[in-house]
Amino acid sequence: MVDREALRETVSEHVDPGTSVLLSGPVHGGQLGLCFDVLTAGHTTSTGFLFVSTDLRSAAVVDAFGDRVPDFATSQCRVVDARGDRSGPFGETSEAVASVSSPSDLTGIGIEVIRGISALRGRKRTDVRLGIHSLSTLVEYLDPKTVFKFLHTLTGRCAATDISCLATLNEPIHDAQVVNLIASIFDVHVQIREVDDGFQLRILGMGTGPTRWMPVGDLG
Amino acid sequence: MSGRGQPVVLIVEDEAAVATAYRRMLESEYAVRLAANGTEALEKLGDDVDVVLLDRMMPGLQGEEVLSVIRDRGIDCRVAMVTAVEPDLDIVEMGFDAYVQKPPTPTQLRETVRDLLARTEYTTELQEYYAAESKRAALDARDFEEISESREYGELESQIVTLKATLDRSADDLTDDMTFLTVLRSLESDEREEA
């Protein structure tokens, strides 16, 4: 059994500035917890977090960073709340949160990503890391072709500006073709699956073929 | 978008002398059309127009109003605002793809048009790359060993490598905010067209 801290280290080893990582697995497979774990791994005072959320409330995103970063200040994180109508009549907006109208508002997400990066870098947070949760919602709202092109453009910009990018996918709800298509964009693919006695994880895309399936505990 | 031949540039400018000057700067490389005001611009705006150079301050329909009609109609063209005022991020949010500060030099004007046309190239390359990756994703999903060892699959893989390398070279252009947003905007407009 690989414990959570060991897993965080194993995955983080493959993440450099500019690297893109897909974390896929079933609901409760722990890919979201792992996403936050890896985003915050090895953080310093120059690390800034940007998070595009189509599913999670902004307050929950901020808390997830706060739980993992001692002396966390909201000024080191920016959330792009792209839940749209589902965020209720009072779309959350604050210094750390910007809202866009819908998960399908790609230009709106793009504008807020640009603003977020420039706000963080303006505060000397030069090591910016981007999280996205969840690609499944984008696929729900948009054609897989559009999602593919959007992600390619976004990860391309991130790679060119040394921003690592981690995104989650609720894998079992998509057919294999969509999963393969989305995975092809990312440098590294961390895949979680459910087996009889819990969850297993493997890592693909390091040029050496997939790792073996490792049993993992609760990833939160 | 025009298929073959010279790309079409529509210049929307109320001062005739200025419009003529722009035309001279561009007509050796592009098919140039002129419109003296916003209303005329909308009449002359067909699917074959690639780039619109839109004066911000005009009598009658303002540049921003013309832009919003262009976007509403779903015309797939790139629009640069020509303005005497120092522009900022607002222009990006209004939906312009670029801005040209008045008065532009011939080089600036030609470079803006060339740059806007290059963004179309990026989206074309992205479409080709998507088509190839989508084919591979479909074959992989079937998971037959004989497929992954076939000659066609090998050719597809090397095609993907070439397309990816071409796109990666363009990735540097995406660090420019306006270029990045132009690409996202065109993805959204394609999505709406197909819906």
Average pLDDT of the segment spanning B133-162: 85
Comparing CB atoms, the residue among B92, B143, B174 nearest residue A157 is B174
Neighbours of B68 (CB within 10 A): 13
Q: What residues of chain A lie within 8 A of the CB of B124, using their CB?
A: none
B144 and A CB contact within 8 Å: no
B162 and A CB contact within 8 Å: no
Query: At residue A9, what is the residue type?
Result: E
Q: What residues of chain A lie within 8 A of the CB of B136, using their CB?
A: 180, 184
What's the pLDDT at B192? 83
Q: Which of B169, B180, B192 to mutate to test the interface with A (most CBs of A within 10 A)?
A: B180
Using CA atoms, how far apart are residues A91 and A58, in angstroms rounded to an integer?
10
Using CA atoms, how far apart are residues B35 and B10, in angstroms rounded to an integer?
7
Radius of gyration of chain B from Cα atoms?
20
Residue-wise pLDDT tens digits, B110-124: 999 999 998 888 888
Average pLDDT of the segment spanning B156-170: 91
Characterize the bridge pairing of strands A198-204 and A188-195: antiparallel
pTM, 2 dp: 0.90
Residue-wise pLDDT tens digits, A92-127: 567 789 999 999 999 999 999 999 999 999 999 999
User: Among residues B186, B194, B191, which one has the least CA distance to residue B75?
Assistant: B186
What's the pLDDT at B84? 84
Is the separation of the CB atoms in A48 and A77 below 8 Å?
A: yes
What's the pLDDT at A115? 93
CA distance A20 to chain B (A): 14
Q: What residues of chain A lie within 8 A of the CB of B183, using their CB?
A: 153
Residue-wise pLDDT tens digits, A50-70: 999 999 999 999 999 999 999
- Taken as a whole, chain A contains a residue count of 220
B131 and A CB contact within 8 Å: no
What's the pLDDT at A180? 94
Encoding tokens for residue A59? Answer: 């307050």
For the ranges A187-196, B79-88, B153-162, which has the lowest average pLDDT? B79-88
A163 pLDDT higher than 50: yes
Per the CB < 8 Å rule, is A106 touching B188?
A: yes
B195 pLDDT higher than 80: no
Residue B2: pLDDT band (50, 70, 90) is very low
A83 vs B195, residue with greater confidence: A83
Portion of chain B with pLDDT greater than 70, in percent: 92
Residue-wise pLDDT tens digits, B34-44: 999 999 999 99
Per the CB < 8 Å rule, is A178 touching B137?
A: yes
What's the pLDDT at A152? 96
Using CA atoms, how far apart are residues A76 and A50, in angstroms rounded to an integer?
9
Is the separation of the CB atoms in A139 and A174 below 8 Å?
A: yes
CA distance B92 to chain A (A): 8
Residue A220: pLDDT band (50, 70, 90) is low
What's the pLDDT at B88? 67
Residue A15: pLDDT band (50, 70, 90) is very high
ipTM of predicted assembly, 2 dp? 0.91
| Chain B residue nearest residue A155, CA to CA | B171
